[in-house]
Amino acid sequence: MKHIWLWLPLGLFVLFFAVVANGLINPADRVIMSTMIGKPAPQFSLPSAVDGLPGVGVANLRDGKPKLVNIFASWCIPCASEAPMLEQLAKQGIEIHGIAIRDRRQDLDRFLARYGNPYARIGADNDAKAQISFGSAGVPETFVVDGKGIIRYQIAGDINPSNVGDLLTALKAAK
């Protein structure tokens, strides 16, 4: 019986091989587009995630103004790198609603203190249900929602100089 155990490391390695070989052969298309585009935003209502800012719900998205819904987390590194872009967008008067995924209050406070706070509202999505109902697959993702609460556009991944133009165009079109 003892000899079977000796093959365990090799077995584990074969498992590792299967996983990475699959990863190499089907280089994951890391962008999943939401199927919710063109549809009304899902029913959701999230409690406030940080002190001083209200939470987010679907009702807040139907007030007639187009806005951005940014799905992010304090533990996510690309979210930190897109923070300056969001801050500039907020400075141009664009309303940004944040949905914080599986986060903690003190971590969020720290994140906002460190990278700036462009958000008008931040909802705490502790089980990522709201995120999934938006059709979002990861953090960060940003959605353009028009004044009637219909999802118009999505950026999967961070906002950066190469895609911010499209984002602004989509925002303009959503008016």
Partner 1 sequence: MIAEIGLAFLWLAGVLAGLQLIIGAIGLRTDRAEMMAGVRPIAMVQGILVGLSFWCLVAVFMQSDMSVKLVALNSHSAKPMLFKFAGTWGNHEGSMLLWVAVLGVSSGLIAAFERALKYRTHIATLAAQAAIALGFYGFLIFSSNPFERLNPVPLDGQGLNPLLQDPGLAFHPPTLYFGYVGISVAFSFAVGALIERDVGPAFARAMRPWVLGAWIFLTLGITAGSYWAYYELGWGGWWFWDPVENASLMPWLAATALLHSVAVLATRDGLRAWTVMLAVVAFSMSMVGTFLVRSGILTSVHSFAVDPTRGGFLLALLVLYIGGAMALFALRVGTVREGNQFDLMSREGALVINNLLLSVILSIVLVGTLYPLVTEAMGQKISIGAPYFNSAAGYPALLLVVIMIMGPVMRWRRDEFKAVMQRIALPLLATALMLLGLVLARPDVGILPFLGLLLAVGVGVGSFAPLWKRNLRRTPLFTYGMVIAHFGIALSLGGMASESGFIKEKLVAVNIGESNTVGPYTVKFLKIEPVAGPNWTAMEATLEARRGDGEPMILRPQARMFSNPVTPTNEAAIGTVLDGQLYLNIGEPTPDGRWQLRMWWKPYVTFIWLGGILVALGGFLSLIGRAVREKSARARKASPEPFASGDILV
Of all helices (H) and strands (E), which one includes residue 23?
Answer: helix 8-25
Binding-residue total with partner 1 (CB under 8 A): 38
Beta bridge partners of 71: 99, 141
Nearest distance from residue 70's CB to partner 1, in Å?
Answer: 16
Instruction: Kindly calculate the radius of gyration of the chain based on its CA atoms and give it in whole angstroms.
Output: 20
Residue 80 vs 168, nearer CB to partner 1: 80
Identified binder of partner 1 from the candidate list 40, 116, 147, 149, rule CB under 8 A: 116
Residue 60 vs 131, nearer CB to partner 1: 131
Residues that bind partner 1 (CB under 8 A): 2-3, 6-7, 9-10, 13-14, 16-17, 19-28, 30, 32, 73, 75-77, 80, 84, 91, 102, 104, 110, 113-114, 116, 137-139
